[in-house]
Amino acid sequence: MKDIKEKVRDQNPKIRNPASRLPKELVRSAMLETKEKSRMAADKVGRETGEESPVEYAGNRIERVEQRAGKESASAAYRGGKKLAVKTYEKLKEQRQKQKEAVAAPLDGETGNGGTSARTEQARAKKGRTGTKRSIKVKPEAEKTIKEAGNRAVKTAPRMVKASPVSSQKVKTQAILQKKQALTSMRAAREAKRAAMGSAQAARQSAKTAKTTARGLKAMAEAAAHAVKAAFAALMAGGSAVFVILILIVGIIGGAAFLGNSQSSEALSAEVLAHTPAIQRYASEFGIPEYVPVIQAIMMQESGGRGTDPMQASECPYNTQYPNTPGAIQDADYSIKVGVQYYADCVREAGCESPQDMDKLKLSLQGYNYGNGYISWAIRNHGGYSEANALQFSQEQAAAHGWSGYGDPEYVPHVLRYYSGGGLFAGLFGNGQMVTIAKSQLGNEGGQKFWSWYGFDSREEWCACFVSWCADQAGLIQRGAVPKFSLCTDGKNWFQNQGRWQGAGSMPSPGAIIFFDWDHDGTCDHVGIVERCDGTTVYTVEGNSGDAVRERSYAIRSDSIMGYGMVVY
């Protein structure tokens, strides 16, 4: 085929298809131009931000934001910004890789006609462009090859993507947004801190208010007790107002029960609990068995049950074995005996009829601390105990003796924080709780309710099952105060091993568990619950007594009584 000829009209040769002009150099120019523009954009960002690259710029900006806002508030922002920056960097890296591949690879292979290659044609074109005026002869096949190579060069040449400026602007915008979010988080954190400080202040105020309210609640509970007494007196008088009074009583009982349940006592120490059998023994001996929880609270305040003088009774007039100086007693059992004997005097002098008579109980407690001379003084001058006259007595005695202080003017509230038995419904709680539950079952015959509760499928001797059921209903098994037992011997052994055993012939407290030996052979045959003891007779509630729940009574020195398990309520 004939070569295509073109006339030379000027100094520089022209080719009909400009795309076929030096495809390799066109690619290189495009690459260099793209690289130069990317470098210029990066320099521009560097001048604005002081960073070397968009990725570093974004990372450092986010790090600064994280340092200001804290890791917690900026962690999410940092991850988002970093992800975007990495993605941008990966795109740039991918584009650079494509550019390198385009430069390194030949733009075209050998042609199929006459062994003419694109490189040869490039050389010819270059030579023709630098030579003198002359015609260039190109075969049609070669021209077609050059056109195809030029088209491919145009297609494969990297497009002018302004990735760096756009990406950097995008990263910058993202960083600004993350900074705003971090600032918002910081403001929220400051608000939360202020709210927490306000809550703490409110909590302190609430605690102060609660302390005042507790005193008011105790006064309301005592007022409720007096109201109930008055209501019952009205009931005894009879009349058309009985129904209204009954409603009033129900309301008062509900309110007082709520108030009573809203109060709680601090726990007794293990040392005080260990001394409980001795407390019960001497409380019975001196005629105040129902005051065992009160005496426990006194011991808790005096010594926590520790030392050789746990009742701090050395200065009591009944101490005849040791000097009458503080802490002189060296025998804990003797200290308990002297202290309980003296407190029994205080109870009688205060005219306290029961642990629920709170006004006179407080008078007896302050008398134990000051000496029972305070009791007669308070009754004579003020009609009874008050915090104000307790302080007055202390100040007068200190001035009279030339001392800096006298006793503890706040002894009563200090003791009562350990006392949980003083309430209108002590028969439903404390020592009387299990007795009340046991008496509610009087008349039950056969005991199926109790032995089936224990887990037996058929009838068993159920006196111990009955005691265990009552203890469970009172919550004493869960507290570890009474074991769950179906054999009398197991119950006796448990109390003895716990150091809570009181021997026969002593005066038990209400709620104690009584064990019997009918055959006098040293084996426990029967068990029940002590209802009360008047000093000569023990009154009980027993299950499986003639196959029913019944009330019984025994002489306190009956040889059928093995002893008593002391329940710490």
- Per-residue pLDDT of 535-569, as tens digits, reads 889 999 999 999 999 999 999 999 999 999 998 76
Q: In what order do the strands lie in the sheet with 537-542?
A: 501-503, 561-565, 513-516, 526-533, 537-542, 550-555
- Are 438 and 496 in a shared domain? yes
Residue 83 falls within a domain, yes or no?
Answer: yes
Residues 363 and 254 in one domain: no
DSSP letter string, 168-181? HHHHHHHHHHHHHH
Indicate whether 435 and 384 sit together in one domain. Answer: no
Residues 439 and 410 in one domain: no
Query: Are 546 and 437 part of one and the same domain?
Result: yes
What's the token pair of residue 298? 């006194």
- Predicted confidence at residue 267, as pLDDT, reads 82
Predicted pLDDT of residue 245: 46
Place of tokens 């002869």: 137
Q: Please name which of 292, 561, 295, 333 lies closest in space to residue 415, comparing C-alpha atoms.
A: 295
Domain match, 257 and 365 both: no
Q: What pLDDT is attached to residue 250?
A: 46
Residue 383 pLDDT: 95
- Which residue type occupies 171? V
- Residue 123 confidence (pLDDT): 44
Question: Which of the 8 DSSP states describes residue 500?
Answer: -
The closest alpha carbon to 20, from 98, 104, 128, 105, belongs to 128
Alpha helices, H only, 70-139: 71-104, 118-130
Asked if residue 44 and residue 144 are part of one domain, the reply reads: yes
Among residues 415, 408, 423, 430, which one has the least CA distance to residue 298?
Answer: 415
Q: How far is 79 from 88, CA to CA, in rounded Å?
A: 14
The answer on pLDDT for 86 being more than 80 is no
Are residues 207 and 328 located together in one domain of the fold? no
- 39 in a structural domain: yes
Of 187, 141, 415, 196, the C-alpha closest to 301 is 415
CB 352 within 8 Å of CB 372: no
Q: What is the CATH number of the domain that holds 343?
A: 1.10.530.10
- Report if residue 54 sits inside a domain: yes
Per-residue pLDDT at 364: 96
**Joined tokens for residue 423:** 């309430």
- Mean pLDDT, to the nearest integer, of 278-284? 90
Q: Band of the pLDDT at 144, cuts 50, 70, 90?
A: low
Q: CA separation (Å) from 519 to 336, 503, 524, 547, 560?
A: 35, 18, 9, 19, 8
Q: Does position 425 have pLDDT exceeding 90, yes or no?
A: no
* Structural domain that includes position 213: 192-261
Task: Please tell me whether residues 445 and 539 are part of one structural domain.
Answer: yes
- SS3 for 354-406 is CCCCHHHHHHHHHHHHHCCHHHHHHHHHHCCCCHHHHHHHHHHHHHHHCCCCC
- Is position 392 within any domain? yes
Residue at 329 is within a domain:
yes
Whether residue 504 contacts residue 279, with contact meaning beta carbons closer than 8 Å, is answered with no
Same domain, 70 and 119: yes
What is the identity of the amino acid at 218?
A: K
What CA–CA distance (Å, rounded) separates 78 from 58? Answer: 9
Q: Are 244 and 325 members of one domain? A: no
Q: How far apart are the first and last CA of the chain?
A: 124
Which pLDDT band, with edges at 50, 70 and 90, does 479 fall under?
Answer: confident
Q: Do the Cβ atoms of 465 and 543 come closer than 8 Å?
A: yes
Distances (CA, A) of 528 to 175, 513, 516, 556, 559: 81, 6, 9, 15, 16
The answer to whether residue 3 sits within a structural domain is: no
Looking at residue 93, what is its pLDDT? 81
Residues 357 and 482 occupy one common structural domain: no
Average pLDDT, stretch 201-209?
53
* 49 vs 42: CA distance, rounded Å: 10
What pLDDT band is residue 261 in, cutting at 50, 70 and 90? very low
The band of 393, judged by pLDDT with boundaries at 50, 70 and 90, is very high
Chain-wide mean pLDDT for the chain? 75
Beta-carbon contacts of residue 57 (< 8 Å; ≥ 6 apart): 45, 49, 51, 168, 171, 172, 175
> Is 425 a member of any domain?
no
Task: With cut-offs at 50, 70 and 90, classify the pLDDT of residue 243.
Answer: very low
Which range is least confidently modeled, 127-136, 300-309, 481-490?
127-136
Q: Residue 10 in 3-state DSSP? A: coil
**Would the pLDDT of 315 be above 90?**
yes
Percentage of residues in the chain having pLDDT higher than 70: 57
Domain boundary pick from 215, 244, 261? 261
**Number of structural domains in the chain:** 4
Strand partners for 532: 539
Domain C-terminal end among 125, 155, 178: 178
Interatomic CA distance for residues 275 and 270, integer angstroms: 9
Instruction: Identify whether 291 is part of a domain.
Output: yes
**83 vs 405 pLDDT, higher one:** 405
Q: Which residue has the higher pLDDT, 316 or 1?
A: 316
Predicted pLDDT of residue 104: 65
Instruction: Tell me the average pLDDT across 472-492.
Output: 93
Give the pLDDT mean for 500-529.
Answer: 93
The pTM assigned to this predicted structure is 0.40
For residue 424, pLDDT over 90 is answered with no
Q: Which CATH number belongs to the domain containing residue 511 in this structure? A: 3.90.1720.10
The candidate with the shortest Cα–Cα distance to 481, out of 466, 473, 471, 469, is 471
**pLDDT of residue 260 exceeding 80:** no
Instruction: Give the pLDDT band of residue 368 (cuts 50, 70, 90).
Output: very high
Tens digit of each residue's pLDDT (9 = 90 or more) over 153-196: 445 444 544 444 545 565 566 667 766 666 666 666 666 556 55
Two tokens at 454? 């224990």
| Single-letter amino acid code for the residue at 496 | Q
Section 462-467 average pLDDT:
97
Average pLDDT over residues 226-250: 46
Tokens of 63: 């790090």
